[in-house]
Amino acid sequence: MKNHARSVFLPALAAVFAVALPAQVVRYGFDSTYKLGAAQWTPNTGAGGEKSAKGAVQINSLDLRMFAAGGANADLATAPGVAGRGRALDLTGNTPGTVNAAIAQQNAAAPGAFKALTITGWMKHAAPLQKDMTLIRNFATGPSGGGFWIFATGPGTLVLQLGDGQKSAKFPVRAPAVAVPDQWVFFAASWDGGAGLANWYFGDEAGAPAAPVRVAAPASTGMTLTATKHLAVGRASSKSPGFCGLFDDIRIFDTALAQEKIEEIRQSALDR
């Protein structure tokens, strides 16, 4: 679990954050894992998914199963997390050219059919981002496909792609912060389906996100994102490039969060 040693005022500060933040559909903190048979899982601690029990183990349908490069079951929640606290998802085995790269994924449930969306997380890459390298994906291709997908098109460029089964929209952003290796970078994409706009935010352990980068995609106005029973962190398919580095504290909300809420999320990862 995370280190809870704090100064006297931090518990009150954390309580303020806890009250202020809306309910999360998904949260992967990677601080704990469990094993079912040979499979290694890390839990979703957000409000989404169906909860059940397998013997003494409490599970959620949005929990992620972890696979090492090549497809073997593995506990990948082993690296130090943001600010050296807790654990992070370790995909550093995905060196350039790795086939069937390491991944954390599930195929049992859909996180939701969103009319608005915010995705936040931390990443620390050990090799440059490449074209078609996936951060997080809940997206199916084809005529009836859709969902959401954040991927790279180069070392300093990310894209949020959304789809409702009939059409899709893309929100690209140039982000020099994500081109810097071996440092924790906070990222957030907040999409307002009513306005057809997305705001991108980037920060780090030392500073809050700068002013948002706003990207318009009129095709996304009024979309209800396709609910796809697949959620993956680290790569899209066995043939696509795998992210080489660490992920921590990935969250998904079914609303478009404002900048002050985005900053609360970034700060909460450092104060926990």
- Please give the model's pTM, rounded to 2 decimal places: 0.91
| pLDDT given for residue 86 in this prediction | 94
| pLDDT given for residue 19 in this prediction | 38
Q: In which element (H, E) is residue 200 found?
A: strand 197-204
Is residue 91 within 8 Å of 84, Cβ to Cβ?
no
Type of residue numbered 138: N
| pLDDT given for residue 17 in this prediction | 35
Q: Which residues contact 67 (CB under 8 A, 6 or more apart)?
A: 73, 74, 102, 103, 104, 105
Neighbours of 93 (CB within 10 A): 16
Is residue 145 within 8 Å of 167, Cβ to Cβ?
no
**Nearest alpha carbon to residue 99 among 142, 67, 138, 128:** 67
pLDDT beneath 50: ranges in the chain:
1-20
**In CATH, which of 3.30.1490.100, 2.60.40.1120, 2.60.40.420, 2.60.120.200 is domain 10-271?**
2.60.120.200
Q: In which element (H, E) is residue 271 found?
A: helix 259-271
Angle separating helix axes 10-20 and 259-271, nearest 10 degrees? 140
| pLDDT given for residue 21 in this prediction | 52
Q: What angle do CA 259, 207, 17 make, to 5 degrees?
A: 50
Say which DSSP state 249 is in: E
**Nearest alpha carbon to residue 170 among 129, 94, 223, 208:** 223
* Mean per-residue pLDDT over the chain, rounded: 90
**Nearest alpha carbon to residue 87 among 145, 42, 24:** 42
The three-state (H, E, C) secondary structure of 66-122, written as one string: EECCCCCECCCEEEECHHHCCEEEECCCCCCCCCCCCEEEECCCCCCCCCEEEEEEE
Is residue 122 within 8 Å of 186, Cβ to Cβ?
yes
